[in-house]
Chain A
């Protein structure tokens, strides 16, 4: 483990590309690529031996607009050949956003040893490491969850109460344009836009990308501490992260909870697509 990784609060949750390269054949490790768009990622090439989680289909319940159910998660783990004791390493497209979302879901369902590839797919490719189109054959398992931690997830009723509290800080990790209300969704996805643009009153804007270096690895712990504490996001508060649908905010959730070791960090996956569309909830616009 590198010195930089050791300095994080919970360094075990992060692995380097070197570590992954050394564990490609390790039967106790399952490498999982989590993609929003597998057709332009996993299906074109992935880390040898990696299996796929299709974010839209596998980790979400698109009918309920919810994360995958406990039973669905157990089935998914079984299909991917994962046991409760397996070390799972996640990485993926879109700069690890959806991998950290999956990490969050793995933690909700109590998987003990789940880790994130520091720098993700982008760094693996940048280093010229081996990629393959071969889909591995895995032996299915029977997986049972041991406990569910819903304390990691914020729902609208609690956010609509919490945003007014002094001991709670909301972190909006979207781009400044989204925070200010200039845009509400990517133009390619107009149906996913919120009715209103802006942010939850009192939230601070710290775009997710400010936590990573050019190669998508996380910044050193001192820089991260300065970044968040400098905007009033301190460990004595309950921190709620949000974005548009909860995936970029899971990246910041990961940083605050595991790299900085904040005791209470909660991801609000309803995020702006819920708050911005809800009748009667206040919003702020501008800086």
Chain B
């Protein structure tokens, strides 16, 4: 499965069973489209979890770039928020509805992240 973000293609290295959706979100700021990773309804595979897919997408963000993640269980939300906090990302928005959540992350600029 390939999603396209602007001109860049992003290949989801997951099986069809654990296929994840990566789409261009609506631009909320002039800096361009935001990537969206949808983990809802996705299952762990042996040694590969949906959360890792989101973390990989976060690591590939440029400084100042944003990523929106839709989670399906609170464990995913907890993990991603905690991971972001420890790794120089800002949690700009967190909207929870039952077990699901929409989280908007921004990769801090090097100075702000203390790098």
Contacts and interface: CB of A to CB of B under 8 A. Distances in A.
B111 interface: no
A162 interface: no
Interface residues of A, number: 33
Interface string A239-257: 0000111011000000000
B59 to A, nearest CB: 12
A151 interface: no
The A interface is mostly helix, strand or loop, or mixed, namely loop
Contacts of A230: none
Given A45-B78, A183-B15, A243-B46, A126 B73 contact: yes
Given A175-B17, A177-B17, A186 B45 contact: yes
B44 interface: yes
Give the size category of B's interface with A: 20 to 34
Contacts of A174: 46
Interface in A32-46: 36-37, 40-41, 44-45
A131 B55 CA distance: 21
Most chain B beta-carbon neighbours within 10 Å: one of A93, A182, A187: A187
B10 interface: no
A174 to B, nearest CB: 8
B49 A94 contact: yes
Contacts of A122: 73-75
A185 interface: yes
A37 B49 contact: yes
Interface stretch (B29-37, B61-69, B79-87, B102-110): B79-87
Contacts of A248: 46
Contacts of A209: 43
15 contacts: A44-B78, A44-B86, A45-B82, A122-B73, A125-B75, A126-B73, A126-B74, A175-B45, A177-B16, A186-B18, A186-B46, A187-B13, A188-B52, A189-B46, A248-B46
Interface of A: 36-37, 40-41, 44-45, 93-95, 97, 121-122, 125-126, 128, 131, 174-175, 177, 182-183, 185-189, 192, 209, 243-245, 247-248
